[in-house]
Amino acid sequence: MLIVMKADATDAQVAEVVRVIEELGYRAHPLPGATRTAIGITGNQGAVDVSRFENLAGVAEAIRVSKPYKLITLDLRPEKTVVRVGDASIGGDELAIIAGPCAVESRAQAFSVAEAVRRSGARFFRGGAFKPRTSPYAFQGLGEEGLKILAEVREVYGLKIVTEALDEAGVDMVERYGDVIQIGARNMQNFSLLKRAGRSPLPVLLKRGLSATLDEWLLAAEYVMSEGNYNVVLCERGIRTFAQHTRNTLDLAAIPAVRRISHLPVIVDPSHGTGKNYMVNPLARAGVAVGADGLIIEVHDQPERALSDGAQALTIEQYEQLVNEVRAIHEVIAPTPVG
């Protein structure tokens, strides 16, 4: 059930609807929009009684939702969500660029990449302190020491920090040092992690699972939102297919597919999406051309020495060229209409 308030509904009227929803034992999710506030209802097992709401002051209509998702949908919020991270944002008019190494390896490495990221005008720095590696013997990240380096990068360069939490304790730590919680492909259906991130004050960057359908991915976002955190950014990072010429198959059709259903911003990760240095730039350009709200790019000052994902890391020069090219493309494409 979804309660759409009249355009001129007052805050007190919204609060009264929320009170009634909670009195019935459900959870209310008021999402203010450009023209009206809509209130999603979750926590109900069966149908909610429409008549309970129709006559409340300020209510335009009560709509039954038959789809599996309630909060990510354009029915709840017809205009795009802009996820604000301090004075930066993802989903607004500006193309969001998140760049940095796969893993924080040292202060010197993080700083030399961050300097280039800052110079490029990007607002976000990425870098893993906890790495989800296929092998337990591969570099696992610097842990809290890595987060401390990221916090220094934030301080020195004014960049917002996007970094992965592998588990619930990791979310506590990212909250202490970072700005955006990344949930990786391998954890897209780690439901306790999603719920914990849903109770965080920080925005969540939710990567698509290695073989997740669109519905599974959107329902993972729904998990985060159902706990009250509405600042979710979706990230297409490639899925597993039979193709062997790339690490993953970057599913760029997912961008318009998400757009048709959801108000959430969606970005593209051409680094993990291809796994190959020479493919990152062309697929980044394509991602912007299909309407992505941003890109997340792996950059290393010495890719040949990277402790993880070196094959897909851009050099600083390659990264600078990419930024110039994707900005030019972003400028010529009009905002993608919804639907």
Taking the CA of residue 68 as centre, how many other CA atoms within 13 Å lie in the half-sphere pointing to its CB? Answer: 10
Contact call for residue 207 and ligand PEP (CB under 6 A): yes
Min dist. Cβ of residue 207 to ligand PEP (A): 4
User: Of 30, 58, 100, 128, which lies in the binding site for ligand PEP, with binding defined by CB under 6 A?
Assistant: 128
How far is Cα of residue 263 from the mean position of the Cα atoms in its chain? 12
Residue 207 or 300: the one with the smaller Cβ distance to ligand PEP is: 207
Q: Rounded to 5 degrees, what are φ and ψ at 33?
A: -120, -175
Contact call for residue 269 and Mn ion (CB under 5 A): no
Residue tagged 């090219």 (tokens): 325
Residue 250 or 316: the one with the smaller Cβ distance to ligand PEP is: 250
116 close to 125: Cβ distance less than 8 angstroms: no
Q: Using alpha carbons, select from 35, 29, 33, 14 the residue that is nearest to residue 81.
A: 33
Residue 28 or 202: the one with the smaller Cβ distance to ligand PEP is: 202
Min dist. Cβ of residue 270 to ligand PEP (A): 11
Residues 76-115: x where in contact with ligand PEP by CB under 6 A, - otherwise, as a string: --------------------------x-------------
Residue 73 or 109: the one with the smaller Cβ distance to ligand PEP is: 109
Min dist. Cβ of residue 215 to ligand PEP (A): 19
311 close to 280: Cβ distance less than 8 angstroms: no
Among positions 176-205, residues that touch ligand PEP (CB under 6 A) are: 184-186
Taking the CA of residue 25 as centre, how many other CA atoms within 13 Å lie in the half-sphere pointing to its CB? Answer: 5
Handedness of CA 128, 326, 337, 83 (dihedral sign): positive
Contact call for residue 309 and Mn ion (CB under 5 A): yes
User: Of 33, 78, 92, 132, which lies in the binding site for ligand PEP, with binding defined by CB under 6 A?
Assistant: 132
Contact call for residue 164 and Mn ion (CB under 5 A): no
Q: Using alpha carbons, select from 198, 203, 261 the residue that is nearest to residue 232.
A: 203
100 close to 298: Cβ distance less than 8 angstroms: yes
207 binds, among ligand PEP, Mn ion, none (CB under 5 to 8 A by kind): ligand PEP
Min dist. Cβ of residue 298 to ligand PEP (A): 7
Residue tagged 């730039």 (tokens): 281
Min dist. Cβ of residue 20 to ligand PEP (A): 41
186 close to 170: Cβ distance less than 8 angstroms: no
Strands 2-5 and 59-63: what pairing? antiparallel
Alpha-carbon distance 280 to 270, whole Å? 5
Residues 49-68: x where in contact with ligand PEP by CB under 6 A, - otherwise, as a string: --------------------
Residue 73 or 182: the one with the smaller Cβ distance to ligand PEP is: 182
Q: Number of residues in contact with ligand PEP, rule: CB under 6 A?
A: 9
Residue 173 or 306: the one with the smaller Cβ distance to Mn ion is: 306
Question: C-alpha angle 142/143/146, rounded to 5°?
Answer: 60
Does residue 237 sit in helix, strand or coil? coil
Among positions 100-119, residues that touch Mn ion (CB under 5 A) are: 102
Residue 222 or 269: the one with the smaller Cβ distance to Mn ion is: 269
Which residues form the interface with ligand PEP (CB under 6 A)?
102, 128, 132, 184-186, 207, 237, 272
